[in-house]
Amino acid sequence: MEQTFQEQEVLRRVRRELYLTEGLSAMDDESLRTLIRKILLRQNPDHEFSAEELARFVDTLYGNFRGLGILEEYLNDDTVSEIMINAWDVLFIERGGVVERSPRTFSSEKELEDIIQRIVAGAGREVNRANPIVDTRLPGGERVNVVLPPASIETPVVTIRRFPKDRITMRTLVEYGTLSEEAAEFLERLVKAKYNIFISGGTSSGKTTFLNALSDYIPKSERIITIEDSAELQLTGIDNLVRLETRNSNTTGSGEITIRDLIRTSLRMRPERIIVGEVRGEEALDMLGAMNTGHDGSLSTGHANSCEDMLRRLETMVMTGSSGLPLPAVRRNIASSIDLIVHLGRLSTRRRVVLEITEVVGLEGEEITLNRLYEQREGELVPTGNALIHTWKQEVYGHETTPHPRTVRPRKLDGDGELPLGEPDPNDPYFFF
């Protein structure tokens, strides 16, 4: 329920007095609620509060001091997917893919800072001027990013990503129009046949949601290890599941556990598949190594604007973590590790969709060769007519090979990262009738 201007003023006055009250932090919950009622009634002698209205004001003010203040309303609103706090008096929320400014504000920067400390302390983390950036999560699973000055120029900045309470399945995504039923069935066969799949997309394109849905196709008998910065994945029905999470360094600069550390550790834990929530740095080298050394069927995500861009970004990540590995070797590593890239994005309508599904075929010379299998046309994901070239995993793992009517020669990245289209050559070994 949105507050009126008069209600906001009432709350501001009570908050101001409460902040000046000594011993507030030492009060038990009932004493704090009693004090709030007294101040409300004393400050507003001419207002006759109904029992419901008084309870609502008390709950709101109590939340300011013992909960998360005005954030409680949005955290309890299932329609809100993201909360963006640019300053104590500038909040934006996302509902249904639409971002709008909130009429609600904190009473002051101090109130925002208090809530930030409440959030990070509850997760056993620290954030201060010496350590101004922290990623954590709320007890409900919401992902929280905090940036304090001097990393943020003027004021603390907080971003909270919420996830649906009801887990989204691939069936749900098909119903939403994120991808076609045919494409979903295609991906199901490839996940079961242990293809290494990379999910790419921009910020808030639905990569984690899609990864969760895709993981439903993993046979429940397998041993799975998940590796994340903040635990967001919701794998269900897998008994032999190990979940690992990174840790920031402490105030002395020690104790950090990185994704790279966890990937290396996971290789000693007899995984059948490794799922990395997001690859964004030098850990890409270790992830590709895991995919290429007996851990087929591994999954991961990364930020990129296209499948081609994802490959370029992976090249950069691997070279960053490889101490001088030459580019041709990096490309061979990528081409031999990743089987498929699923790229997500948003249409002009803000609807999240699969924009393309592309096979990583291999190297032609020193260039990675791609084979686009599905693409967006007029708001629908449709097959290109190209057949999956590498079918041996389906054959090895006993799954029916994927039928397609024909294929054309996989397209090669040119110098600009584009995929030029040409007429298929009947004499080309990649062309099939």
Q: What is the DSSP string of 35-71?
A: HHHHHHHHH-TT----HHHHHHHHHHHHHHHHS-TTH
Mean pLDDT by 10 residues, the chain (433 residues): 67 79 77 89 87 84 75 86 94 88 88 87 80 84 90 93 81 92 95 95 89 93 90 84 83 78 92 92 89 88 94 92 84 93 89 94 92 92 94 77 43 42 36 27
The letter for the amino acid at 214 is L
pLDDT the model gives residue 405: 34
Q: In this structure, are residues 277 and 228 in contact, taking their beta carbons and an 8 Å threshold?
A: yes
Other CB atoms within 10 Å distance of the CB of residue 73: 18
pLDDT recorded at residue 215: 93
Candidates 3.30.450.90, 1.20.910.10, 3.40.630.90, 3.40.50.450; CATH matching 68-162 = 3.30.450.90
Residue 192, phi then psi, degrees to nearest 5: -65, -30
- Look up the pTM and report it: 0.72
| Residue 257 φ then ψ, to 5° | -125, 115
pLDDT value for 96 = 74
Q: In the chain, what's the furthest Cα-to-Cα distance?
A: 91
Alpha carbons 150 and 129: distance in angstroms, whole number? 7
Q: For residue 402, what pLDDT is reported?
A: 54
The answer to whether the CB of 244 falls within 8 A of the CB of 225 is yes
Q: CA 138 to CA 122: how far, in whole Å?
A: 8
- Domain range list for the chain: 1-66, 68-162, 170-412
**275-333: per-residue pLDDT in tens?**
998 998 889 998 998 888 778 999 999 999 999 999 999 999 999 887 778 999 999 99
Distance CA 418, CA 177 (A): 27
CB atoms within 10 A of CB 293: 10
pLDDT at 18: 80
What is the number of helices (H) and of strands (E) in the chain? 13, 16
Is 170-412 a domain of CATH 3.40.50.300?
A: yes
E strand or H helix at 309, and its extent?
helix 307-320
| Token reading at 253 | 């600069």
What is the structure's pLDDT at 428?
35
Q: Which helix (H) or strand (E) holds 333?
A: helix 327-337
pLDDT of residue 97: 73
Tell me the three state secondary structure of residue 286: helix
| Nearest residue to 125 (alpha-carbon basis) of 134, 115, 116 | 134
Looking at residue 5, its pLDDT comes to 64
Amino acid sitting at position 253? G
| pLDDT score for 411 | 41
